[in-house]
Amino acid sequence: MRWLTALSLLCGLMWTALASAEQSVRDGQIVVHYNAMTAADLTPEIAGALGIPRSRKRALVVVHAQRLEGDQRQSREAEVTGQARNLVGQTRTLSFRTIRDADVDYAIATLPVANLETLIFDLDITVNGHPRPLTATFRRQFYH
């Protein structure tokens, strides 16, 4: 139950951020939403459930894949790999892990960030049951 509550809150955080800057890729019936935020934006409950220290010096990348079936959306497990690069080209490999609860799957990764650092994220997403990988590139600036 603790996971369900934490993931529901994480989903709410993700959707709130996505509503202001729709970040998704779509291929046929598959849609993948993605976002990055500081770990300080997590509630203490979510951070504790995920085992992530709350800090403005730490970023959290969240990826959620869904299959669209009419008006319904079904969560899909996805294998995500990627990297973050700063504006001078230094790269950091992202190590994603899958978080599952009930019928919802998320891939999350964390990495250190500096104040005012802008990172460009390059993600490769392989969605379970989908014949082609998807890619996403987005930019985010972090503040302490």
Please report the domains of the chain, with CATH numbers, ordered by start residue. 2-141 (2.60.40.3340)
Residue 6 pLDDT level (bands cut at 50, 70, 90): low
pLDDT digits (tens, 9 = 90+) for 60-76: 999 999 999 999 999 99
Distance separating alpha carbons of residues 91 and 8, to the nearest angstrom: 32
Distance separating alpha carbons of residues 84 and 81, to the nearest angstrom: 11
Angle at the Cα of 96 from the Cα atoms of 26 and 65, rounded to 5 degrees: 25
Q: What is the pTM of this model?
A: 0.86
What is the average pLDDT value for the chain, to the nearest integer?
90
Find the radius of gyration of the CA atoms of the chain.
15
34, pLDDT greater than 90: yes
pLDDT digits (tens, 9 = 90+) for 113-135: 999 999 999 999 999 999 999 99
Distance separating alpha carbons of residues 125 and 132, to the nearest angstrom: 9
Q: Which of 60, 46, 54, 51 is nearest to 12 (CA)?
A: 46
Q: Which of 64, 58, 79 is nearest to 10 (CA)?
A: 64
pLDDT digits (tens, 9 = 90+) for 68-97: 999 999 999 999 999 999 999 999 999 999
Residue 101 pLDDT level (bands cut at 50, 70, 90): confident
pLDDT digits (tens, 9 = 90+) for 18-30: 444 669 999 999 9
Pseudo-torsion of CA 30, 35, 40, 44, nearest 10°? Answer: -10
